[in-house]
């Protein structure tokens, strides 16, 4: 798409109900063909974490979860389901904060988020969805499958919803990506007034994730969007490379 036409974000409706073992790249390619929409080189395919977790079997059946004493005590303190608390603890490296009915944890991936990213929305009753074990690897698999099905050079971003510690509301962020460098490095370049930028590094994959959520939405059952017209660098460092080192983190 010519740059003059700006950025276009298209929802991909008609994604079938995802089951463990499904090839998401093939599923998305089929849905795009039914939509009579042709993918183009450098399109960014944005995929919600929920269908990635479903395809990878990252679902926990709550009636099979046996809470530990620690989980039961935390659940009583916070007014939460002890089975959910047990899952949150299993999926975390540590509890960062607790209160207001929420556990803020650091996941095994290094993400700091509510309840280890575990969610019961948009999944079958009695189940909870866990984060993919390696969201960057998930993005690579989806991209490889999609590129094979379409013969196009693509990027894939896997997204999830995060809160912000100093602002109300939530926004979608990238928890995994492939084919796209997660940040733009502008340090050393001059702004229009001649000032040399020192640390400016826009998180382009997060910006794309948040923009795509505008057409996917939480209640619409549209888990995929195509973003076209964004200029980005190719890369394979993944979203995990964006996790700030503990030695540089002023808040943990």
Nearest Cα residue to 233 out of 163, 190, 181: 181
Beta-carbon contacts of residue 25 (< 8 Å; ≥ 6 apart): 141, 142, 143, 144, 145, 146, 147, 148, 149
Whether residue 88 contacts residue 108, with contact meaning beta carbons closer than 8 Å, is answered with no
3-49+132-241 and 60-128 share one CATH topology? no
Beta-carbon contacts of residue 115 (< 8 Å; ≥ 6 apart): 84, 88, 102, 103, 105
pLDDT at residue number 252 = 65
> Could you give the angle at the alpha carbon of 124 between the alpha carbons of 53 and 74, nearest 5°?
80
- Dmax over CA atoms of the chain, in Å, equals 62
DSSP class of residue 180 equals S
Superfamily of domain 3-49+132-241: CofE-like (3.30.1330.100)
DSSP class of residue 8 equals E
DSSP class of residue 16 equals P
Could you confirm whether domain 60-128 is CATH 3.90.1660.10?
yes
Nearest Cα residue to 226 out of 119, 141, 138, 152: 152
Residue 76, φ and ψ in degrees, nearest 5: -65, -40
pLDDT at residue number 2 = 45
Distances (CA, A) of 137 to 132, 152, 156, 177, 206: 9, 19, 11, 8, 17
Count CA within 13 A, CB hemisphere, residue 74: 22
Q: In what order do the strands lie in the sheet with 44-48?
A: 8-11, 224-228, 44-48, 155-164, 167-178
Domain boundaries, the chain: 3-49+132-241, 60-128
pLDDT at residue number 186 = 54
Report the DSSP pairing between strands 155-164 and 44-48. Answer: parallel
Whether residue 143 contacts residue 25, with contact meaning beta carbons closer than 8 Å, is answered with yes
pLDDT at residue number 202 = 84
pLDDT tens sequence for the chain (252 residues): 444 568 999 999 989 999 999 999 999 999 999 988 899 999 999 999 999 999 999 999 999 999 999 999 999 999 999 999 999 999 999 999 998 888 999 999 999 999 999 999 888 899 999 999 999 999 999 999 999 999 999 999 999 999 988 899 999 999 999 999 999 875 556 566 665 556 567 889 999 999 999 998 765 789 999 999 999 999 999 999 999 887 877 776
pLDDT at residue number 248 = 79
């Amino acid at each position: 798409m010519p740059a003059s036409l700006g950025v276009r974000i298209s929802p991909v409706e008609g994604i079938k109900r995802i089951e463990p073992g499904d090839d998401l790249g093939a599923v998305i390619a089929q849905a795009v063909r039914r939509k009579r929409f042709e993918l183009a080189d450098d399109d960014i395919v944005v995929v919600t974490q929920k269908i990635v977790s479903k395809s990878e079997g990252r679902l926990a059946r709550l009636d099979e979860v046996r809470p530990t004493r620690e989980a039961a005590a935390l659940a009583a303190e916070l007014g939460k389901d002890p089975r959910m608390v047990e899952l949150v603890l299993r999926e975390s490296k540590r509890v960062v904060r607790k209160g207001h009915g929420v556990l803020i944890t650091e996941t095994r991936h290094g993400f700091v988020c509510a309840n280890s990213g575990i969610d019961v929305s948009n999944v079958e009753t009695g189940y909870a969805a866990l984060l993919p074990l390696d969201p960057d690897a998930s993005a690579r698999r989806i991209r490889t499958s999609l590129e094979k099905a379409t013969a196009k050079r693509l990027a894939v971003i896997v997204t999830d919803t995060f809160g912000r510690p100093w602002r109300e509301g939530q926004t979608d962020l990238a928890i995994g990506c492939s084919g796209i460098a997660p940040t733009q490095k502008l340090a050393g370049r001059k702004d229009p007034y001649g000032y040399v930028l020192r640390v400016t590094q826009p998180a382009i994959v997060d910006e794309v994730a948040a923009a795509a959520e505008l057409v996917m939405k939480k209640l619409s059952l549209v888990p995929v969007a195509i973003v076209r017209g964004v200029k980005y660098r190719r890369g394979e460092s993944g979203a995990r490379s964006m996790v700030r080192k503990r030695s540089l983190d002023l808040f943990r």
